[in-house]
Amino acid sequence: MALPICLTYIAIFSLFVICNNGVEAFHEIYPDLQSISASSVSKLHRTGYHFQPRRNWINDPNGPMYYNGVYHLFYQYNPKGAVWGNIVWGHAVSKDLINWKELEPALYPSKPFDKYGCWSGSATVLPGKGPIILYTGVIDKQSTEVQLYAIPENKSDPFLTKWIKPDAFNPIVVADHTMNASVFRDPTTAWWSKDGHWRMLIGGKRNNRGMAYLYRSKDFVKWIQAKHPIHSAPSTGMWECPDFYPVSLKGTNGLDLSMVGNNVKHVLKNSFDVTRFEYYTVGTYLKNKDKYIPDNTSEDGWGGLRYDYGNFYASKSFFDPSKNRRILWAWANESDSKEDDVKKGWAGIQSIPRTVWLDSGGRQLVQWPVQELNSLREKQVKISNQKLTKGHHIEVKGITAAQADVEVTFSFSSLNKAEPFDSRWVNPQDLCALKGSKVQGGLGPFGLLALASEKLEEFTPIFFRIFKAPHKHVVLMCSDARSSSLKRELYKPSFAGFVDVDLANNKKLSLRCLIDHSVVESFGAGGKTNILSRVYPTLAVKKKAHLFVFNNGTERITVENLKAWSMKSARRT
Ligand code: DQQ
């Protein structure tokens, strides 16, 4: 992918440029709005089954964990308003990752070392000892960040409602004189090694080099910085919310963080503060050297792999020992304007928790909504073997199209009509903007029109388009918000990613879309390329929302099998 334009400008002109990708992932500071709570909360675009608190602002998922039969989700939360500020750790618990009970905030500024905010962090369950939270505290207005620990007041409380920040040893890590303490945050879950040490990472930057600093401890409270960061990369800016974990080369099971061995690779993900998109690599953890070396199968930087090519930031994963899986969460940030966030009294949601594993090719990850989500499926409709010629769309009738789950497999008999691929098309998002769903093609565009109004004044197309490059086919997947709403003051990007599939042997592409009022969360080719879009339709709302399948390419497409379900709302207490 090309360097974002704003970065190029910085490099060339050394100017200060605000690199805003348009999303509210930047949690800009609006002092006058931070503590204004809406008198009522607008329900119109609130989600039915994606997690969001009852009101106000939410951002990063924090410290997700499974402990004593209960899933815990903490999250960055403003208890007083619908913009970022007054940050505490909101807390919700669940038995199934879908139905949630909201509790009082677990961490809130109460000590000199977190007076200006309890920022992101992680939880580690210590065998025989229970969970410990590591998080970032902000100690002053200059945003000096220190790392802190907190423990449950009562480990037998099934919901771990109250947390204590012991004065002894806190802060457990502070930036040394060579570091910039205002870009030093977001400790990871710690892993244990046979040399008797716990290890964890903290995100940062040196000059413009993104850093994942490594720390070691024998007792979890006295931490020593390793000589080198576990990994760093030039020109990537501040690395927020690092996540580092093992993945199995065999099968889809997740692994506990401390797992090493022959059939294990590692993943390092960082959230790049400059554009608020995140990137990961698959690689090798040299534990004796305390180093992580990314494989050369993908770029280590701006052209790298992404979990999701849409509104998806500050993600965090955890190992679920009850089902031997690794689960990934992220903040699905806003595309609505801050004025409307304030009016509606809320902003931000969480993605659906996704199971994540290494693809059999070993080059990339695969993600899929946790199986528990299927418990919300109710009325089902099906379409089988339906031919779609150029310019046709067919309505999927009989479900609640504003709150639905759709799985579809498309097939085609030939690749001959694929359009030529221009090697200058390195940025999928630009290509999607150029070749949107209305631009007629050869093989594609075909896919779904979600949250569509009856006469298609509004719709969010999620679709594939296939190109022919000299030695391979290039598959583009788009989730294009440009026509999603008649409302103007919205962020409406043409999110897109390429899909690494071999179509020569299997002329099929599958798509799953989770549609939930103001979110369309899509999984292409079984979860190889994923895109979450936040959209705010004005006509295609509630019962007035429709769902269509479409083809706008000259090659005839077959909807081999489509299943769509109305989704019940998740229980929120
Ligand atoms: N959000 C937190 C920080 C983190 C950022 C503050 C990422 O700890 O770096 O709310 O969105």
Taking only the tens place, the pLDDT of each residue in 403-446 is 999 999 999 999 999 999 999 999 999 999 999 999 999 999 99
29 pLDDT higher than 90: no
Distance separating alpha carbons of residues 35 and 85, to the nearest angstrom: 8
Q: Give me the pLDDT at residue 4, please.
A: 40
Query: Which pLDDT score is estimated for 15?
Result: 32
What are 58's strand-pairing partners?
77
**CATH 2.60.120.560 residue ranges for the chain:** 378-567
Answer yes or no: are the C-beta atoms of 503 and 415 closer than 8 Å: yes
What is the 87 CA–ligand 1 centroid distance (Å)? 10
CB atoms within 10 A of CB 15: 8
Above 70 in pLDDT, residue 549? Answer: yes
Task: List the structure tokens of 77.
Answer: 């939360």
514/516 Cα distance (integer angstroms) = 6
The pLDDT tens digits for 136-181 are 999 999 999 999 999 999 999 999 999 999 999 999 999 999 999 9
SS3 374: helix
Gap between the Cα atoms of 244 and 187, Å rounded:
11
Residue nearest to atom 9 of ligand 1 (CA): 240
Q: Is the pLDDT of residue 330 over 50?
A: yes
Using a CB cutoff of 8 Å and minimum separation of 24, what contacts does 72-75 make?
Answer: 72/123, 72/160, 73/100, 73/329, 73/350, 74/106, 74/107, 74/123, 74/133, 75/331, 75/350
- Please state, in angstroms and as integers, the Cα–Cα distance from residue 525 to each residue in 269, 297, 366, 407, following that order: 22, 20, 9, 11
Name the active-site residue from 60, 243, 300, 516.
Answer: 60
Write the pLDDT tens digit of every residue in 65-98: 999 999 999 999 999 999 999 999 999 999 999 9
Has residue 6 got a pLDDT over 90? no
Higher pLDDT, 7 or 399: 399
Look at the domain 8-50+57-369 and name its fold.
Tachylectin-2; Chain A (2.115.10)
Cα(233) to centroid of ligand 1, in Å?
A: 20
Tell me the sheet residues that pair with 356: 367
* Separation of CA 59 and ligand 1 centre (Å): 8
- The CATH code for residues 378-567 is 2.60.120.560
| Whether residue 231 has pLDDT greater than 50 | yes
Q: Using one digit for the tens of pLDDT, what is the confidence trace for 463-495?
A: 999 999 999 999 999 999 999 999 998 999 999
Q: pLDDT band for 508, please (50, 70, 90 cuts).
A: very high
Instruction: Decide: 114 in ligand 1 pocket, CB within 6 A.
Output: no
| 60 assigned to active site | yes
The confidence score (pLDDT) of residue 1 equals: 33
Q: Which residues make up the CATH 2.115.10.20 domain(s) of the chain? A: 8-50+57-369
> Per-residue pLDDT averaged across 55-62, rounded?
97
19 pLDDT band, cuts 50/70/90, is very low
Say how far apart CA 511 and CA 549 lie, in whole Å.
11
**CA 330 / ligand 1 centre spacing (Å):** 12
Higher pLDDT, residue 105 or 261: 105
User: What are the φ/ψ torsions at residue 55 (nearest 5 degrees)?
Assistant: -160, 175
Would you state the pLDDT for residue 28? 76
38: pLDDT confidence band, cut at 50, 70 and 90? confident
Residue 25: which pLDDT band, with cuts at 50, 70 and 90? low
The whole-number average pLDDT for the span 25-44 is 85
Task: Output the pLDDT for position 18.
Answer: 35
Q: How many CB atoms lie within 10 A of CB 157?
A: 11
Confidence at residue 24, expressed as pLDDT on a 0 to 100 scale: 54
185 Cβ below 6 A of ligand 1: yes
Q: How far is CA 58 from CA 70, 198, 238, 241, in A?
A: 22, 30, 21, 16
Q: What is the pTM of this model?
A: 0.95
SS3 373: helix
Residue 60 CB–ligand 1 contact under 6 Å: yes
Q: pLDDT per residue over 178-204, tens digit each? A: 999 999 999 999 999 999 999 999 999
